[in-house]
Amino acid sequence: MANTQKGLKVYICSTPQPTDLNQSGFEALTWIEVKHVGNVGQSGPSTNMLNYDEMSTDVTQKSKGITDAQNTPIEVARLLSDPGQQAMRAAALTPFNFAMKFEDNDKPQADYTNTITYRRGIVTGPTRAGGRNEDFITDTFTLGQNQLEVVVAPTPMSVPTNVVRPTITGSSLVSGQVLTALEETWTNGPTSYTYQWQRDVAGNGTFSNIAAATNKTYTLVGADVSNAVRVQVTAINAVGSSAVANSLPVGLVH
């Protein structure tokens, strides 16, 4: 789904950051939101394209040169009492590098995060646009980036949750029959699953793990005769592992 810039949020860390940061380094910082942002300019790396022609050249040869991490203008409707704008002004008075966070409003579903872009560089400004009697008073700061931006794509906000319990397929419940676990429906984007097959030896609804039966499929054996069988499924995403979801048991094995 395509998204617009509406809902974009901008943050600054008021503590100078003298060295490059990775994602975890950025995430550990304390952020102040810069309010009343009206426009954020172009970002993303720009790399010089180098050309060279020899006397015998038929096609110009090209190579990549130096990469510029970009200068990003940030326009705000001036509000001198806003803590975020105050932090931007304070940063602009120093020669130091500061970290900034840009959060899009583009989560693919309610239980995901938005895309976040982290940048670090010097802050300059503000410049003032001026204007006519119906123009807002605006200030524009510029973030001169001194490292390549770090982009974090939307991710689930929590571990998966089972919505429709797992099921088991198999045409007949006889020894030698192969059963297959169907994971069914989960929230929070599982990327993988684990399985544990169990049997009800006592016939009272108390299930015990079947040794080494941890695949998506399970072949019924003699020990399953006269017992019910079920599968436990655990869903895994980038956050972690879900609680176990139990299938309904399949009937007695003959």
Domains of the chain with CATH codes? 9-47+67-152 (4.10.410), 162-246 (2.60.40.10)
CB contact at 8 A, 72 and 145: yes
For residue 236, the model assigns a pLDDT of: 96
Q: What is the pTM of this model?
A: 0.71
pLDDT per position as a tens digit, 86-115: 999 999 999 999 999 999 999 988 888 999
Mean pLDDT of the chain: 93
pLDDT per position as a tens digit, 179-222: 999 999 998 889 999 999 999 987 788 899 999 999 999 999 98
CA distances from 86 to 89, 103, 123, 224 (A): 5, 20, 12, 71
Sorting pLDDT into bands at 50, 70 and 90, what band is 174? confident
- For residue 156, the tally of other CB atoms under 10 A from its CB is 20
Place of tokens 């940061």: 21
Q: Which residue(s) pair with 116 in the sheet? A: 103, 152
Sorting pLDDT into bands at 50, 70 and 90, what band is 65? very high
Query: For residue 243, with 0-12 CB atoms within 10 Å meaning exposed, 13-18 middle and 19 or more buried, which class applies?
Result: exposed
